[in-house]
């Protein structure tokens, strides 16, 4: 599922997303639904603020992975939130991106296709550590490979602090501590 996005392909996806948003606004204006138009615009503003926070974390490969994940062929929809404006200068970007890519791939192969599957990622950077919370809801049909993935040895400074898995939910708290 990992791929390198060239500039034209990336811009094509961004343009498509923006055209969808504009058409949604235009359609609601035509239906004289001013409140709905206001909600859509507020959602666009919040999304742009979150994109800016994610882009400013100083982990560009990870940010790219998160920003482009919904353009991949995963069987889940990704939402994310950056909880503050701290930077992640001490995180090894490629190690985090690799771990996240593997999680997404294993999760995708473990869930029921064509179901309403959602993955929420919350990122909480702090001065000495960063916490990432992965919260999946949907139908998990293969728990074993997820459990094995979560038991793998991690890069120094990375640790899975909490995880829970059921047939319909998966929660993971990944803690990344600054190296001394």
The per-residue pLDDT for range 78-105, each reduced to its tens digit, is 999 999 998 887 889 999 999 999 999 9
The secondary structure of the chain in percent helix, strand, coil, rounded to multiples of 5, reads 45, 25, 30
Phi, psi of 78 (to 5 degrees): -100, 135
DSSP-H helix ranges across 31-87: 34-55, 60-68
pLDDT by residue (tens digit) across 128-168?
899 999 999 999 999 999 999 999 888 888 999 999 999 99
Asked whether residue 1 is assigned to any structural domain, the reply reads: no
Residue 28: CB atoms within 10 Å: 17
Banded pLDDT at 2 (limits 50, 70, 90) = low
For 133, the 3-state DSSP assignment is: strand
Asked whether residue 114 is assigned to any structural domain, the reply reads: yes
Banded pLDDT at 180 (limits 50, 70, 90) = low
Domain region containing 51:
7-177
Distance CA 114, CA 75 (A): 7
Q: What is the CATH number of the domain that holds 56?
A: 3.30.565.30
In this prediction, residue 20 carries a pLDDT of 95
In this prediction, residue 158 carries a pLDDT of 92
Instruction: Please say if the pLDDT value at position 124 is more than 70.
Output: yes
Domains of the chain: total: 1
Asked whether 140 and 168 are in contact (CB, 8 A), the reply is yes
Asked whether 81 and 123 are in contact (CB, 8 A), the reply is yes
pLDDT by residue (tens digit) across 7-66?
888 888 899 999 999 999 999 999 999 999 999 999 999 999 999 999 999 999 999 999
Asked whether residue 2 is assigned to any structural domain, the reply reads: no
Asked whether residue 30 is assigned to any structural domain, the reply reads: yes
Banded pLDDT at 179 (limits 50, 70, 90) = low
In this prediction, residue 1 carries a pLDDT of 47
């Amino acid at each position: 599922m990992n791929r390198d996005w060239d500039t034209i392909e990336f811009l094509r996806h961004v343009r498509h997303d923006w055209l969808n948003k504009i058409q949604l606004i235009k359609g609601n204006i035509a239906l004289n639904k001013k409140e709905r138009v206001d909600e859509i615009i507020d959602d666009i503003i919040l999304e742009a603020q979150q994109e800016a926070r994610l882009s400013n974390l100083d982990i560009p490969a990870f940010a790219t992975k998160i920003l482009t994940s919904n353009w991949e062929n995963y069987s889940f929809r990704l939402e994310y939130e950056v909880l503050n404006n701290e930077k992640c200068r001490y995180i090894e970007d490629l190690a985090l991106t690799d771990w996240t890519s593997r999680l997404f791939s294993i999760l995708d192969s473990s869930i029921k296709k064509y179901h309403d599957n959602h993955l929420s990622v919350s990122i909480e950077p702090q001065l000495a550590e960063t916490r990432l919370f992965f919260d999946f809801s949907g139908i998990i049909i293969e728990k074993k490979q997820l459990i094995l993935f979560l038991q793998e040895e991690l890069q120094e400074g990375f640790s899975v602090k909490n995880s829970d898995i059921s047939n319909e939910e998966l929660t993971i708290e990944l803690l990344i501590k600054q190296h001394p």
